[in-house]
Amino acid sequence: MILSNEQMDQLVFDITEKILLRMPEVLGNLIKEHASMKKLTDSYLDENPNFKGHSLIIQKVLEKLEETNSGLAYEKLLVLATPKIKQQIALSSGCDTENVKKKDELDITINGQL
């Protein structure tokens, strides 16, 4: 079946119209989902006050878990993430990120010759 240019234009118009008419519903669902996740995250941080200030660690752990557990509910993902976040915070607490030496202050002679 070969479509004429007029039929193709009408088909494109109909498809575009359907997509545009569904956009408010799709955007509304995305906004509701985001608000729900924000509320869950806020209550999670309230339950785990020692996690505050470690947003990068929380974000990286959650991203990694989402990759391996796609489709898992966000609440269950937070439960899975808790021990891993605690472990990562403990590991990073020994790192001094405030007093980092500048490149010209580094002594490379203690590592041997390059």
Residue 35 inside a domain? The answer is yes
Q: What pLDDT does residue 104 have?
A: 64
Looking at the structure, do residues 43 and 68 belong to the same domain, yes or no? no
Judge if 43 and 1 occupy the same domain.
Answer: yes
Reduced to 3 states (helix: H, G, I; strand: E, B; else coil), residue 96 is: coil
What letter does residue 109 receive in the DSSP assignment?
Answer: G
Q: What is the pLDDT of residue 108?
A: 62
From the first residue on, what is the mean pLDDT of each consecutive set of 10 residues in the chain (114 residues)? 91 96 96 93 92 91 92 91 93 74 63 55
What pLDDT score does 70 carry?
Answer: 86
Whether residue 42 sits in one domain with residue 53: no
Angle between helices 5-47 and 74-93 (to 10 degrees): 60
What distance in Å separates the CA atoms of residue 15 and residue 10, rounded to the nearest whole number?
Answer: 9
Domain-embedded: residue 61: yes
Q: What per-residue confidence (pLDDT) applies to 93?
A: 78
- Which residues lie below 8 Å from residue 36, measured CB to CB, with a gap of 6+? 74
Is residue 44 classed as helix, strand or coil in its secondary structure?
helix
What's the confidence (pLDDT) of residue 100? 67
pLDDT for 111? 59
